[in-house]
Chains A and B, each alone.
Chain A
Amino acid sequence: MTGLQSSSDLGKEAGPEGPTLVVEHLDVTYRVRGQDRPVVRDVSFTVGRRESYGLVGESGSGKSTVALALTRYLARNGRISGGSIGISGLNPLAMSKEDLRQLRARTVSMVYQEPGLALNPSIKAGRQIAEVFEIAGLDRKSSLDRAEDMLRRVQIADPGRVMDRYPHELSGGMAQRVIIAMALATEPALLILDEPTTALDATVEAEILDLVAGLREQMSTSVLFISHNLAVVAKMCDRVGVLYAGELIEEGPASEVFAASRHPYTVGLLRCIPRRGQRKDSGRLDAIPGFLPQPGQVMTGCVFAERCSMVVDECRQLPPPGFEVGPAHTARCYRHADVPEMPGTAPEEDQRSSPLGLPEVADTADLDPIVTIRSLDKTFGGGETAVKALHNVNIEVLRGETLGLVGESGSGKTTLARTLLGLTEPDPGSVIAFDTVPLAPGLARRPLDQLKSLQIVFQNPDSALNRRRTVRWLISQPLRRLAGLSGDQLAERLTDLIRSVRMEKRHLSLRPGQLSGGLKQRVAIARAFGGGPRLVVCDEPTSALDVSVQAAILNLLADLQAKEQVTYLFISHDLGVVRYLSDRIAVLYLGRVLELGPAETVFAGPHHPYTEALLSAVPSLDGQRTERIKLTGEIPSAANPPSGCVFHTRCPRRLPTGVCETTEPPLAEVEPGHQISCHIPIDQLRVLQGNAAPKG
């Protein structure tokens, strides 16, 4: 056995004073179609008392399987085929059903990704929390009192009212607080958080993370934090383990693992993420070549060898042992000493010229608009329940630029894109002009050349690609319908197209289900570009993808833009991605544009207080906390938007004069090309945000 040895000496004396969680040489196997597939191999780590330990990895890396194995919650076809687990000195692997039940009830709590699915929809929130106390032996009345107490501890403003609500009446963030309250009700020794904020908006995520960090200081609970988001783990955890293909390839103190990684995979992951100041025209992102291995794929040698740029013969022969590369820092790499000098995959000198031939972003001012949107409104439903998804939106999309669209969920980003495409009809009186020609509101009345001009890459390729069709059919359709090609011409263009999205001919006969997420998104991109579009809407095109794949897709989108001279409307909640790709940015809130301007100006500030809050909610990889502008309260309902400035209910910089509550500020040009909808004068914003503005 060549485990990460650092933990083995601690495991033996796991008493009340020992570490909370000791995992040694854990193997988990799933039985699929009569074959055993190892999905977790030889994983060892220790979580000390009051320590917060992060497990990071991409999909299929086995991080959730590890969490499930700890409390023996594996699916029926999964089993722990080796190794040992100790939780507070107890051994769940040798427990009877009743003991296991007690362990799950008292010692370990879990919080999962989807708060909506973790609560019983037919029981009021208060009762669900009280149940935890009733199981512990309290009577009904005092259980409810304790439940209300817990809600107060998770900083719910009005616990009494939340007690009486059913789960569907709670927002995602509120529901996750209720679940955390339930999880912590028994003061467990170990709290397992499995992607607790992945389904939430950035501002809500920041609040939940602060809450967990705060609670950890008050209680003696140890935390096992599972996430694919490196920055979140960097912010939350003392120690980190990086999982790849079921193996713990690097482990150590969070600051060291992220700042001085000694495994090529960790370094690759970190380089995939667009860094501040990195832009599409200044350089490509470093992508990790290849794909994640299939879960359970049996590999000789190092699991990462196939995608590693530093691979040597040795790597393919024997799995590397854990090398001590620093104090309590181990890496499973033969070449760990050379990792800091790992070469990048992207060429140093980038050939990709700016599509506009423009050195400076500010020059977009000279460009003419390709799309002009004037007083765009969209109301869903009518009467009492009417929801105003978009209100008086005025935006110009400039020819050849990338306009980034950011905002929390429910801000109207996707509705704006859908009305532009004609999938959703806007309210009468709205004007959307393409090349100065007004577009018909619905798709059915738009001529072919307008259909050709406007296309989209959807967020989720699983939904956007007909799963019963082959890649060949899927990519041929736009060529037939929009480009009017057939026969040899079609075949030729098809070959061009798959080459330009970096796919191979052998993929043509496959169906979407047989492709990885990244390949599926490439097919979707090929479909969007098949008809020769002028503007492509990218609706969160990488949010369903793993980090290592995201970089390759972003590179591809930037390359295609340079080659085809298309304009992008780029929607994303990931501000780093938006910043990398966008020339200008529009910030949406409750269906209104609060800020619009050149990307760097919007990011550098002075900016709208909402933009400021969005920016400060993003955890940064260096783990340092920037002084955050905290947003309080929930996003108001679009059915009943606040009076005056729609943001005033959450605005930390609300003016004491009361003007924010009564008058809606116009979207006014505060600098050349930079518009903000705020009552606070720009100079005052500059002073207020002087310290808080993130360094560019």
Chain B
Amino acid sequence: MSDLTAVPSAAPGGTAVASAFAAPPAQWRLLLRKPTFIIGAGILLLWLVCALFGHFIAPFDPLAQQLLAKNSAPSGAHLFGTDNLGRDVLSRVIVGARDILLIAPVATLLGAALGTMLGLVMGYFGGVVDTLLGRVVEAVLALPVVIVAFLFIVAVGPSSITLILVIGFIFTPLIARTVRTAVLVERQQDYLASARLLGERPGFIMFAEILPNVLPVIVVEFTVRLGYAIFAVATLSFLGFGVQQPTPDWGGDIAANYGLLGAGYWWETLFPALAIASLVMALNLVTDSIEQVISS
């Protein structure tokens, strides 16, 4: 039913493309009323601040070694204790947010951009195009992802760029498949026939007519994938294929210290692990609330 009195804060006609992407304000307000969203977004914001200003916040230089105070348990001086080389664990956890929070979102963005384009093309054109691209997507998905990623990283050499490319390409077919399904639903709608009757070109129909309507799906997919990307970055770093020591990094720090768990130095592993867990959990909370709001 209509609400003729409600006038949304829509942009003027000239920026019609941009305004189509703006979610109705009511939906955002709904989001802000969800406790899960508030908690998730709060934790996310905390890590974002650490990633951006970590060096100013950290109580110690994350690289500074205090060989006399190595493996010291959490105390007033070192809240999270020190590691095997006497580095402050708290400072390493804070500064360690930087690389993972750069690599994971950029990689996911790359995957989302490529996947969206692929999905739009497959879904809109259908037929032979869909079949051919679909086979390629299936073939890529059938490859043992981890092995391919390792081979690529070994061949090119580990770096942030390599990680972004690897994770981005791995995500592309997954996101493409989701977008394609959403586009197939839109294709049933008469507004596409209506656009064709105006003589609109396929590119315009895909990006100006369909894309705004499948955007919610892409947003949800993006946040879900972002969680996986964080896992992937942490895992690759843990295995030595990601961020290289001594640069502070959660996965790398766990790898460097987990051998000492048996000696009772639990804090060196636990706190970076908690950092990963809290980041992924926060993302899931945000994803869930966005999904609920969109589907309501």
Q: Which of B194, B195, B196, B212 is close to A468, meaning CB atoms less than 8 Å apart?
A: B212
**Does the CB pair A423–B197 fall under 8 Å?**
yes
Interface size on A, residues (CB 8 A): 44
CA distance A210 to B256 in the complex (A): 81
Q: Which of A291, A456, A464, A473 is close to B2, meaning CB atoms less than 8 Å apart?
A: A291
Closest to B17 in A: A473
Which residues of A lie under 8 Å from residue B6 when comparing CB positions? 514
**Does the CB pair B190–A464 fall under 8 Å?**
yes
Residue of A448, A456, A473 with most partner-chain B CB within 10 A: A473
**Does the CB pair B189–A463 fall under 8 Å?**
yes
User: What 0/1 readout, one digit per residue, does chain A (494-516) give for beta carbons within 8 Å of chain B?
Assistant: 00000000000011011100111
CA distance A421 to B24 in the complex (A): 35
CA distance A203 to B268 in the complex (A): 78
**Does the CB pair B200–A443 fall under 8 Å?**
no
Distance to closest chain B CB from A215 (angstroms): 36
**Does the CB pair B209–A466 fall under 8 Å?**
yes
Which residues of B lie under 8 Å from residue A418 when comparing CB positions? 193
**Does the CB pair B2–A514 fall under 8 Å?**
yes
Q: Kindly identify, within residues 467 to 523 of chain A, every residue whose CB is under 8 Å from any CB belonging to chain B.
A: 467-470, 472-473, 476-478, 481-482, 506-507, 509-511, 514-516, 519
Closest to A466 in B: B191
CA distance A481 to B208 in the complex (A): 14
CA distance A514 to B19 in the complex (A): 16
Q: Kindly identify, within residues 427 to 480 of chain A, every residue whose CB is under 8 Å from any CB belonging to chain B.
A: 443, 448, 451, 454-456, 458-460, 463-470, 472-473, 476-478
Which residues of A lie under 8 Å from residue B213 when comparing CB positions? 466-468
CB of A531 within 8 Å of the partner chain: yes
Which residues of B lie under 8 Å from residue A454 when comparing CB positions? 197
Q: Kindly identify, within residues 1 to 19 of chain B, every residue whose CB is under 8 Å from any CB belonging to chain A.
A: 1-4, 6-8, 10, 13, 16, 19
CA distance A515 to B3 in the complex (A): 7
Which residues of A lie under 8 Å from residue B24 when comparing CB positions? 511
Which residues of A lie under 8 Å from residue B19 when comparing CB positions? 470
Knowing A469-B16, A470-B19, A481-B200 are in contact, say whether A423-B10 is a contact too (CB < 8 A). Answer: no
Closest to B21 in A: A468
**Does the CB pair A294–B3 fall under 8 Å?**
yes
Closest to B213 in A: A468
Which residues of B lie under 8 Å from residue A160 when comparing CB positions? none
Q: Which of B7, B196, B215 is close to A509, meaning CB atoms less than 8 Å apart?
A: B7
User: What 0/1 readout, one digit per residue, does chain A (571-611) give for beta carbons within 8 Å of chain B?
Assistant: 00000000000000000000000000000000000000000
CA distance A420 to B198 in the complex (A): 15
**Does the CB pair A516–B198 fall under 8 Å?**
no
Q: Which of A292, A451, A515 is close to B198, meaning CB atoms less than 8 Å apart?
A: A451
Which residues of B lie under 8 Å from residue A511 when comparing CB positions? 8, 10, 24
CA distance A498 to B212 in the complex (A): 25
**Does the CB pair B16–A470 fall under 8 Å?**
yes
CB of B246 within 8 Å of the partner chain: no
**Does the CB pair A482–B1 fall under 8 Å?**
no
Which residues of A lie under 8 Å from residue B76 when comparing CB positions? none
**Does the CB pair A476–B197 fall under 8 Å?**
no
Distance to closest chain B CB from A534 (angstroms): 14
CB of B20 within 8 Å of the partner chain: yes
Distance to closest chain B CB from A60 (angstroms): 6
**Does the CB pair A60–B1 fall under 8 Å?**
yes
Which residues of B lie under 8 Å from residue A421 when comparing CB positions? 197
Which residues of A lie under 8 Å from residue B188 when comparing CB positions? 463
CB of B127 within 8 Å of the partner chain: no
Distance to closest chain B CB from A628 (angstroms): 35
User: What 0/1 readout, one digit per residue, does chain B (200-212) give for beta carbons within 8 Å of chain A?
Assistant: 1000000001001
CB of A18 within 8 Å of the partner chain: no
**Does the CB pair A515–B2 fall under 8 Å?**
yes
Which residues of A lie under 8 Å from residue B212 when comparing CB positions? 466, 468-469
User: What 0/1 readout, one digit per residue, does chain A (110-147) give for beta carbons within 8 Å of chain B?
Assistant: 00000000000000000000000000000000000000
Which residues of A lie under 8 Å from residue B144 when comparing CB positions? none
CA distance A460 to B188 in the complex (A): 12
Residue of B6, B8, B19, B193 with most partner-chain A CB within 10 A: B193
CA distance A519 to B196 in the complex (A): 23
Distance to closest chain B CB from A296 (angstroms): 10
Residue of B3, B24, B197, B212 with most partner-chain A CB within 10 A: B197
Which residues of A lie under 8 Å from residue B10 when comparing CB positions? 470, 509, 511
**Does the CB pair B191–A448 fall under 8 Å?**
no
CA distance A260 to B197 in the complex (A): 48
CA distance A466 to B20 in the complex (A): 10
CB of B262 within 8 Å of the partner chain: no
Give the interface residue-count category, chain B: 20 to 34
Distance to closest chain A CB from B153 (angstroms): 40
**Does the CB pair A451–B197 fall under 8 Å?**
yes
**Does the CB pair A514–B200 fall under 8 Å?**
no
Q: Which of B3, B7, B13 is close to A476, meaning CB atoms less than 8 Å apart?
A: B13
Distance to closest chain B CB from A523 (angstroms): 11
CA distance A234 to B263 in the complex (A): 87
CB of A355 within 8 Å of the partner chain: no
Q: Which of B3, B8, B198 is close to A482, meaning CB atoms less than 8 Å apart?
A: B198
**Does the CB pair B8–A514 fall under 8 Å?**
yes
Closest to B7 in A: A509
CB of A89 within 8 Å of the partner chain: no
Which residues of B lie under 8 Å from residue A470 when comparing CB positions? 10, 13, 16, 19
User: What 0/1 readout, one digit per residue, does chain B (169-205) give for beta carbons within 8 Å of chain A?
Assistant: 0000000000000000000111101111111100000
Which residues of A lie under 8 Å from residue B4 when comparing CB positions? 291, 507, 510, 514-516
Knowing A476-B13, A506-B7 are in contact, say whether A451-B199 is a contact too (CB < 8 A). Answer: yes
CB of A25 within 8 Å of the partner chain: no
Which residues of A lie under 8 Å from residue B13 when comparing CB positions? 470, 472-473, 476
Which residues of A lie under 8 Å from residue B215 when comparing CB positions? 468
Which residues of B lie under 8 Å from residue A458 when comparing CB positions? 190, 193-194
Residue of A458, A477, A511 with most partner-chain B CB within 10 A: A477
CB of A295 within 8 Å of the partner chain: yes
Distance to closest chain B CB from A268 (angstroms): 20
Distance to closest chain A CB from B1 (angstroms): 5
Which residues of B lie under 8 Å from residue A423 when comparing CB positions? 193, 196-197
CA distance A216 to B195 in the complex (A): 50
**Does the CB pair A460–B190 fall under 8 Å?**
yes
Closest to B209 in A: A466
Which residues of A lie under 8 Å from residue B200 when comparing CB positions? 477, 481
Which residues of B lie under 8 Å from residue A239 when comparing CB positions? none
Q: Kindly identify, within residues 199 to 254 of chain B, every residue whose CB is under 8 Å from any CB belonging to chain A.
A: 199-200, 209, 212-213, 215
**Does the CB pair B198–A531 fall under 8 Å?**
yes
**Does the CB pair B196–A448 fall under 8 Å?**
no
Distance to closest chain B CB from A548 (angstroms): 14
Closest to A454 in B: B197
Q: Kindly identify, within residues 515 to 542 of chain A, every residue whose CB is under 8 Å from any CB belonging to chain B.
A: 515-516, 519, 527, 531
CA distance A511 to B24 in the complex (A): 10
CA distance A295 to B1 in the complex (A): 8
Which residues of A lie under 8 Å from residue B2 when comparing CB positions? 291, 294, 514-516, 519
CA distance A454 to B193 in the complex (A): 13
Which residues of B lie under 8 Å from residue A531 when comparing CB positions? 198
Which residues of B lie under 8 Å from residue A60 when comparing CB positions? 1
Which residues of A lie under 8 Å from residue B1 when comparing CB positions? 60, 292, 294-295, 516
CA distance A472 to B171 in the complex (A): 37
CA distance A519 to B13 in the complex (A): 20
Which residues of B lie under 8 Å from residue A476 when comparing CB positions? 13
| 7 CB-based A-B contacts, threshold 8 Å | A443-B197, A443-B199, A463-B191, A470-B16, A473-B20, A482-B198, A527-B194
Query: Which B positions have Cβ atoms within 8 angstroms of A?
Result: 1-4, 6-8, 10, 13, 16, 19-20, 24, 188-191, 193-200, 209, 212-213, 215
* Extra contacts besides A463-B188, A466-B191, A481-B198 (15): CB < 8 Å: A294-B1, A294-B2, A422-B197, A456-B194, A458-B194, A463-B191, A466-B209, A468-B212, A469-B20, A472-B13, A476-B13, A477-B198, A477-B200, A514-B2, A514-B3
For the complex of A and B, the 6 pairs showing the least CB-CB separation, nearest first, are: A516-B2, A468-B212, A464-B190, A463-B190, A458-B190, A481-B198
